[in-house]
Every structure is written in C-alpha cells, then in structure tokens.
C-alpha cells in the first residue's frame, strides 16, 4: 500500500509542483502585465501632456472637430485668431469661422477667407485632415493668418513693379534721346542743303516759281520730322523725378539685399560700409535703379574672376552738401576699347547687353544735379562713383 | 568782317558740308574740323571769328573742348551746336562761358544771326586788346621817376606837393611831367588819369 500510496503521493507531489510552477509563472506574467499596464498608462499620460503642451505652444491655430463639424478642441492660438474665448469656440460649428470650407474625407491644404468674432474677414491658410480610428473620428485643422505675409508680398510686388516700370520708362527715354541725336544730325544736313539749294537757285524769274516753293516745303517737312522726335523725347523727359526725402543708408542696404542671393551663389563677398546717416532729397526709384544697375554690372564683371577673390564693396560717405556711393568690384575691369565712351548709349562689353544701363543711370543722376563717374578701371577691379546733392537742385528749365 | 572765320567742329561729315555750304552762300568764311583734336592741333593765335561746335562727339566732347580752350587761353567765342538739346549739358556749356546755344536742326536766319554776333564780339575784343597793348607799350617807355610823377598827378596832387613828396624842386617836377606827357601822347589831365588807370592794371 505504501508503494501505491507512495506512488499516489509521488503523483500528487508532482501535481502540486506543477501547480506551484504554474502559479509562479502566472504570478510572474500577471506581475509583468500589471507593471506594463502601469507604465503604459504613465506613458500615455505623459504623451498626452506633451501633445497638449505642443498644441498650446503652436503658433498656428489648431482645432479638432467631430464628424458634424462641431469644434471639440481649440488651442490658444485659435482663440487669438478668431478673437473669441474658447468657451464660445468650443461647441460652435466650424462653419461660423471658416464659412468657405466644406469638410470632406479628403485632406486639404489651401488659402481662403476666415471670419473673426467681430465679423472682420481675413486671409487664412489652412491644412485639414480627416481623423479615422483608432483616433476619435472627426477632423483636425491647422489655420494661419496670412494678412501680414500677404501685405509684405504685395509691397514687394508693388516695389518690383514700380522699379521695372521706371526702368522701362527710362529705357524708352534713353532710346528716344539716342534716336533724336542720331536722326537730328542728318535732318540738320538736309535742312541746310535745302536752304543752300534755295539760295543757289537764285531769283525766280529764270525758273518755275514752284521750284523754290517746293524746296521750301521739303525743308518744312524735314523740320517737322525733327519736331516729332523732340516731342517724343520730351514725353519721356516729362516722366520726371518724384523727389522725396530718402534715407540713403537704408536704400543701400535694401539694394544690396536684393543681390545677396545671387552674390552667395557666385561666392561673392558683398560688403557695405555706411559712414553717414543721411537723408537726401531725391527720387528713390531713380537712385534704386542706378545702384541696381551698378551692382548688377559688378556681379557680371566678377564672373571671370577666381572664386576666392570675388569682392564687391560699397561705401557710402557724405560731405556737407553731397552724398557719395563708391561701388568697387574686384572684377576684370572695363575693356579699354570702350573706356572712352562707356556712358554713351549702345556701348557695351556684354554679349547680350543693350548698352543703355550706364547711359540711363548717368542721365538720371545728372537730372537731379548729381553725377555718375568711373573712378578707375584696371584688370584687378573697377570703381564707380555716384554722387547726389543732399538738398534738391532746381532743374534748369530751358 | 575781313578774315573772320566760322570754325565748324562736327564729327558728322554731312553736317559739316551742309552748314559750311550754307554759311559760305551767306557770305561767311568757314573752316571745318572733324574733331576737337583736329581744331586744337591746327589752331593759330591769329585766327578770329567764332567756333561753332557740336557737343556730342567721340574722344573729346564739346564740354571738354571748351575746357581745353580755356586752358590754352583761346578766347574765340564758342557757339554750341547740338542735336541733343540736353538741359544739363546746356547749363554746363553756358556756365563754361559758351557764347550761345543752338539746337539742331536750326533755322538758318537764327544761325546766321548768332554766328555774326559771335564774330563781332570777337572783333570788338581784339580791338580792345590792341588798345591795351599800345597803352602798355607807351607806359613801358617811362622812366621810374616819370612813372611816379604820373601816379601822383593822377591822384590830384599839385606840382608843389609832388616836389615835396619826391624831395625835388617844383621845376624838376615840371620837366618830368612834360616828358611823361609827351611819351604818353597826353594833352590834358584827363588823358593822364586814363593812362594812370591803364598803368595800374598793368602793374
């Protein structure tokens, strides 16, 4: 019996041992699961806190909506954007704030018009996504006010448009002036030849009286064509300067900034030294055009220079009566064969150049009592000088 | 207008030819130059008349020519003749002493009028120069003593006062005064004063 007993006992022992092992294992697994769960809860909580902080800190408005479009969450930026306390925003329909937006299953990113609590409309850029399980079903929307950005862009566009309009006008003016000069020479010869012919023909008894009359008519027509040129020229000259007080230092900075990308791409060291804080009575756009032109020329001149030694240096100084810009580059210099007539129209060293930039720039500066000069040009660099009177100079009227 | 000439400077051959022809048909002598340099190289001090010059020319433009003329003391009246009608250049040219400004193409009567005025101004200046020169050469013939007497007479001093001032006898002063008046070909006190003023400008 004892054997059977012991056998039984042996079997029971094993069972107990199994049981204990199972128990231990279960306990271990259970313990691990509990610990896991606790840490998961903790992780979740900290993640949520982090996300909430992220939402609150976001500079853009963030909104969550349920499927019906009712707002379920909004951050501080949303409160600022729509100008309403969160108590009003929460629970309201998104349509009230973004009437042009129809929520759909498709993710969206676009610009539209928003409405503040005051009823004011404003431009806004939005990104909207459809949330699907496991997230609670609904929508998440991010909105950004683009009023300032739009205004800055409009300003920039206006300035560019004004600059290019002025440039086109000056270009046409310079062309008209060049044309006037080139055509007035032969017209002068023509008029004088016709008058000489009148004298040579002598008194009318000896020939058909219509002869002198005809010569005279020809002379009148030649003079008329010259008059047309003169009016054409005056039309463009009348697009005269608009004189305001211009901070030349700020203008110089602006002009250089416009070239900073191009300079960086070419590896050009672009430097500006402003030794005076001076306001000058001048036409801002004209001065801008001149600096633009000189800087653009300077960059062109650097194209064939070693990358390591590409430099442009602009210095602004002032005396009691005048301000002076010196624009120096380390480029290849002006070809000697065009040095003498550098400021004449249609003179250029560039394959695709019109040869009007310097000619226009000089005309613009001189028309305001200023000057544009080449100071020096060597194969190691070129220096131009722009000078303007601080006080306006009365334009001499012929 | 004896040998007065219009010196025509223009880089355009047709303008030179036509204006030259027209002026010569109106009875004026002309001489043409293709550039400012060509004029300056051939210039003679005896030339009289006026310059009729284009402004916009290669190498040396009209304004630079004006400067070169000033530097060399060439006083021929300078008439600007330009196809450019540029206000600023006009102003500079006139400030630089241009006699007048003509815009191309020009009415021939206006051209003739301006050119004739310029020529007569040059002739007047030359006459005045000649007078100055003859007064100068007369003054140079005076001795220092005679020169002193001239100045003091012109200041209105009497013979006796001059004698005291120069520490010589009135009789001697009278001799100097007579010799001085003879050399200067003066007959009256007024002539003496005129000569003294001329003398002051040459001192």
3-state per-residue secondary structure call for A19-70? HHHHHHHHHHHHHHHHHHHHHHHHHHHHHHHHHHHHHHHCCCEEEEECCCCE
Is the pLDDT reported for residue A398 higher than 50?
Answer: no
Number of Cβ within a 10 Å radius of residue A290? 27
Position B6 scores a pLDDT of: 96
For chain B, say whether A394 makes contact (Cβ under 8 Å).
no
For B92-160, strand residue ranges (E) read: 100-103
Size of interface A-B (CB pairs under 8 A): 80
Give the residue on A whose Cα is nearest the Cα of B90: A398
B12·A185 Cβ contact <8 A: yes
Number of Cβ within a 10 Å radius of residue B170? 13
Position A109 scores a pLDDT of: 86
Residue B21: list chain A partners with CB under 8 A: 192-193, 196
- pLDDT tens string for chain B (203 positions)? 468 999 999 999 999 999 999 999 999 999 999 999 999 999 999 999 999 999 888 888 888 999 999 999 899 999 999 887 666 777 888 888 899 999 899 888 999 999 999 999 999 988 888 777 777 777 888 888 888 888 888 888 888 999 999 899 988 998 888 888 888 888 887 887 877 777 666 55
Round to whole Å and give the CA distance between A221 and A81: 70
A196·B22 Cβ contact <8 A: yes
Token pair 């060049």: residue: A178
Position A392 scores a pLDDT of: 67
Go through chain B and tell me how many residues it has.
203
Residue B14: list chain A partners with CB under 8 A: 185-186, 189
The β-bridge relationship of strands A269-274 and A108-115 is: unpaired
- State pLDDT tens for residues A329-381: 999 888 888 888 888 877 888 877 778 888 888 888 887 888 999 999 988 89
What is the C-alpha R_g of chain B? 24
A192·B84 Cβ contact <8 A: no
Round to whole Å and give the CA distance between A256 and A314: 9
Position A313 scores a pLDDT of: 94
Token pair 């054409």: residue: A232
B87·A195 Cβ contact <8 A: no
Mutate to test the interface with B, among A185, A194, A360 (most CBs of B within 10 A): A185
0.90 exceeded by pTM: no
Round to whole Å and give the CA distance between B47 and A226: 34
Round to whole Å and give the CA distance between B110 and A311: 55
Token pair 């193409």: residue: B105
Bond from prior residue into A134 cis (ω within 30 degrees of 0): yes
CB A327 within 8 A of CB A314: yes
Burial of A77 (0-12, 13-18, 19+ CB in 10 A): buried
């Amino acid at each position: 019996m004892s054997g059977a007993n012991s056998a039984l006992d042996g079997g029971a022992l094993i069972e107990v041992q199994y049981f204990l092992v199972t128990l231990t294992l279960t306990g271990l697994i259970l313990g691990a699961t509990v610990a896991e769960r606790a840490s998961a809860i903790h992780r979740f909580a900290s993640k949520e806190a982090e996300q909430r902080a992220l939402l609150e800190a976001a500079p853009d408005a963030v909104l969550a909506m349920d499927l019906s479009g009712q707002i379920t969450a909004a951050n501080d930026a949303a409160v600022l954007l729509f100008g309403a306390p969160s108590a009003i925003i929460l629970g309201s329909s998104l349509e009230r704030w973004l009437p042009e937006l129809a929520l759909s299953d498709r993710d969206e990113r676009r610009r539209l018009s928003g409405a503040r609590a005051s009823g004011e409309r404003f431009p806004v850029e939005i990104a909207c996504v459809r949330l699907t399980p496991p997230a609670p079903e609904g929508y998440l929307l991010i909105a950004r006010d683009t009023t300032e950005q739009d205004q800055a862009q409009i300003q920039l566009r206006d300035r560019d448009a004004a600059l290019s309009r002025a440039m086109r006008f000056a270009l046409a003016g310079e062309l008209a002036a060049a044309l006037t000069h080139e055509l007035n020479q032969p017209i002068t010869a023509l008029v004088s030849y016709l008058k000489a012919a009148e004298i040579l023909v002598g008194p009318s008894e000896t020939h058909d009286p219509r002869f002198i009359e005809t010569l005279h008519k020809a002379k009148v027509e030649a003079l008329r064509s010259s008059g047309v040129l003169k009016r054409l020229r005056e039309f463009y000259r009348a697009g005269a300067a608009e004189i305001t007080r211009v901070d030349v230092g700020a203008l110089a900075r602006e002009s250089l900034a416009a070239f900073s990308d191009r300079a960086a791409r070419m590896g050009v060291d672009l430097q500006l030294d402003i030794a005076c804080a001076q306001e000058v009575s001048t036409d801002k756009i004209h001065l801008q055009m001149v600096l633009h032109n000189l800087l653009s020329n300077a960059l062109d001149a650097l194209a064939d220079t070693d990358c390591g030694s590409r430099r442009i240096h602009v210095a602004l100084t002032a005396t009691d009566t005048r301000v002076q810009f010196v624009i120096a580059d380390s480029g290849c210099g002006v070809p000697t064969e065009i040095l003498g007539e550098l400021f004449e129209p249609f003179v250029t060293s560039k394959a695709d150049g019109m040869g009007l930039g310097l000619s226009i720039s000089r005309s613009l500066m001189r028309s305001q009592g200023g000057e544009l000069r080449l100071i020096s040009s060597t194969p190691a660099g070129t220096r131009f000088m722009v000078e303007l009177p601080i006080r306006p100079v009365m334009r001499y009227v012929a | 207008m004896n040998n007065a000439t219009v010196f025509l400077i223009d880089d355009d051959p047709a303008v030179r030819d036509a204006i030259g022809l027209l002026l010569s048909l109106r009875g004026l002598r002309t001489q043409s130059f293709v550039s400012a340099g060509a004029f300056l190289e051939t210039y003679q001090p005896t030339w009289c008349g006026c310059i009729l010059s284009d402004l916009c020319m290669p190498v040396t433009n009209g304004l630079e020519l004006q400067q070169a003329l000033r530097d060399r003391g060439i006083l021929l009246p300078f008439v600007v003749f330009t196809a450019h009608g540029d206000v600023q250049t006009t102003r500079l040219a006139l400030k630089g002493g241009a006699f007048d400004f003509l815009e191309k193409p020009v009415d021939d009567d206006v051209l003739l009028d301006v050119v004739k005025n310029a020529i007569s101004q040059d002739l007047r200046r030359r006459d005045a120069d000649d007078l100055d020169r003859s007064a100068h050469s007369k003054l140079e013939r005076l001795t220092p003593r005679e020169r002193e007497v001239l100045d003091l007479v012109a200041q209105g001093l009497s013979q006796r006062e001059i004698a005291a001032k120069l520490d010589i006898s009135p009789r001697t002063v009278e001799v100097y005064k007579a010799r001085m008046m003879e050399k200067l070909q003066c007959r009256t006190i007024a002539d003496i004063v005129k000569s003294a003023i001329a003398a002051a400008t040459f001192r």
